[in-house]
Amino acid sequence: MTMSAGDARAALTRLLRGIAPEIDLVGIDDDALLQDELELDSIDFLNLVTRLSETTGVDVPERDYPELATVGGFVAYLARLDPSR
Amino acid sequence: MTWATITKHGWPGGIEPNITDYDAACASFSWDAARARLDGLPGGRGLNIAHEAVDRHVAGPRADRVALRWIARDGQVTEATYAELSVSTNRFANVLDTLGVAPGERVFTLLGRTPALFVTALGTLKHRNVLCPLFAAFGPEPIRRRLDGGDGRVLVTTPAIYRRKVAPIRDALPGLRHVLLVGDGAQPAGTEPFDDLLASARPTFAIPSTSPHDTALLHFTSGTTGTPKGVVHVHGAVVAHLETGRSALDLHPDDVYWCTADPGWVTGISYGVVAPLAAGVTTVVDEGDFDADRWYGVLADHRVTVWYTAPTALRMLMRAGPDAARRHDLSHLRFVASVGEPLGPEVVRWGQEALGVPIHDTWWQTETGAIMIANLAGADVHPGSMGRPLPGIEATVLARGPDGRAAVRDGSVAEVGPGIDGELALRPGWPSMFQGYLHDEERTRAAFECGWYLTGDVVRRDAEGWYRFVGRADDVITSAGHLIGPFEVETVLMEHPAVLEAGVVGVPDPVAGEVVKAFVCLRPGHEATEELRLELLGFARSRLGAAVAPRQIAFDQHLPKTSSGKIVRRLLKARSGGLPDGDLSTLEVP
């Protein structure tokens, strides 16, 4: 089962909340870079990907990381994640 | 478990290292000979870092050699030759002149790895202003503290960083006269356009007389207590930058060199800007953030021969797996070195397998200005060891007292023998030794004892003279290669109305080495809820920035204290699995 883009954005908000609760995704463009505009650092980013794996049970391979660099990319990735994969 | 020494058979690329006989190099070394490798300002007008790094190459055959090869975040590559860099840095020196900035006044940067950073840094040195680079990932509070403590007159940054981090604190910085913004974007009131000023400035500039004793650089570093320390370096430091670039990084004239350090820290300036340019090599500068594939791509596509990076980055590459490395041709890589935190022997070994060359650990700190101890290109590598003191550097290990620092008894310190832990100390006299902490004579004095500079690092030395890092003698935290002062973090947490007290320590982390953890004691009337924990996390991150703020926060209404009421960070660290409890005799029993 896949999620809608709105659900996926909400899921990203929940993931971010445990790592960078100061971030408000409302009004943030899809092309905003997590490690620039959102001011995550590389350790935050790794923690975020780890949480993504933990909550979905899906292994996120390193080669997919570039896709996760922007808010929109992360949301799109979340939306097509299939936990049964 | 001990790891076998890595013995070298032949030299990668057939290039003989600058030092192949360590003992002979130490015996014949003199700083005067090192000084003679520099040109000095024309007409005997002294020594200026920017002249050695840029202008002197322009008079010779290296004028059209690529000095900088900049890879923008989007992958686009821009090059600047030494001749071009000379002109752009001349222009920035003239910009400072036009703005009426007096020599000796401090120019701060909040910039990433961009050409503007090089132009600002070197133009500032040409104009004999003091360069103070800040880490662009700092939040507003560390930025304010350092601009204020360092008497910042000029700040060069980007519109986005200005809007997010500087505009909110600008009123608290009356001494900051000029803010120059790099690149396109809105020009908020009270700022000036960097690019326009540069374009309209004259392209020629004659560096005025500069003494090797004139202040050139100010780097902030963190201590256990109090405000961050402003570490002062002089133009004469370039002698050590060039010399250690040759000895520790094995730079040869035709190298393509990549230093991944952020220019907000001392490595990003000493070895990201000064040493490679003084050596006349081509420097690769990547604006992008860490990404395993991107990094391997940079090494392969740009045929990097010498690479200086950090353990956290190397551990992240290890995580990415061996296939990521195998997809790229890394055969040009001749020498790889690491700095910032201890390099585990397993990473050294991994380098040999994944990169084709072992990784050479180096040790130094902001105060030393240049590499002091290293595994060398022309010698065996001892995995897990920092290496041996470079030629020209005298190091020792001093017996410690009850406070963990070198013990002074009857006016003298005692050196300890092989295999015994003690504080690493260095004999003053190398050219990049710091001149002191800005506006802080007391802490400067405390750093020296009985003719030694005390590093604050605990090490042990084996019978053959190889050093091994044991830990910090104080409470400073090293996370992802960044030194973080617990006091700075605690101070910010205590500004939150719910927080009575806070104790901040580093706890072990497989990737970052350590991460910052805060133990928070709440004021009466506040409840330890998940909601509040997240609020404090966000509060600290907004003020301190991601790199400095705690990653973990725990509530603790019984923070361990000494009988005089001081929080014992060592015990907090022990509670988090970072340390044995040790001697608890001075603690208050709860």
Mind listing the pLDDT tens digit for each residue in B529-588?
999 999 999 999 999 999 999 999 999 999 998 877 888 898 998 887 655 544 444 444
Per-residue pLDDT band for A2 (boundaries 50, 70, 90) equals low
Give the residue on B whose Cα is nearest the Cα of A68: B291
CB atoms A42 and B542 under 8 Å:
no
Chain B residues within 8 Å of chain A (Cβ atoms): 73, 137, 160, 164, 289-294, 312, 316, 319-321, 324, 479-480, 509, 511-512, 515, 534-535, 537-539, 541-542, 545-547, 551
Reduced 3-state DSSP string for B538-585: HHHHHHHCCCCCCCEEEECCCCCEECCCCECHHHHHHHCCCCCCCCCC
d(CA B193, CA B109): 14
Single pTM value for the model: 0.91
Closest by Cβ to A39, choosing from B291, B480, B546? B546
pLDDT tens column, B332-355: 999 999 999 889 999 999 999 999
pLDDT tens column, A13-22: 999 999 999 9
pLDDT attached to residue A83:
54
Is the CB of residue A5 less than 8 Å away from at least one CB of chain B? no
C-alpha neighbours within 13 Å on the C-beta side of residue B239:
23
The proportion of chain B whose per-residue pLDDT surpasses 90, expressed as a percent, equals: 87
DSSP state of B291: -
pLDDT attached to residue B566:
85
Using a CB-CB cut-off of 8 Å, the residues of chain A touching B537 are 20-22
Largest alpha-carbon pair distance within chain A?
A: 33
Closest to B424 (Cα-Cα) out of B415, B437, B435, B434: B415
Look up residue B442 and give its two tokens: 């007391």
Closest by Cβ to A42, choosing from B290, B537, B539? B290
Residue B464 burial (CB count, 10 A) = 9
Is the CB of residue A53 less than 8 Å away from at least one CB of chain B? no
Is the CB of residue A47 less than 8 Å away from at least one CB of chain B? yes
Using a CB-CB cut-off of 8 Å, the residues of chain B touching A51 are none
- Distance (Å) from the C-alpha of residue A43 to the closest C-alpha of chain B? 7
Number of A to B CB contacts under 8 A, please give it. 63
**Mean pLDDT, chain B, as a whole number?**
94
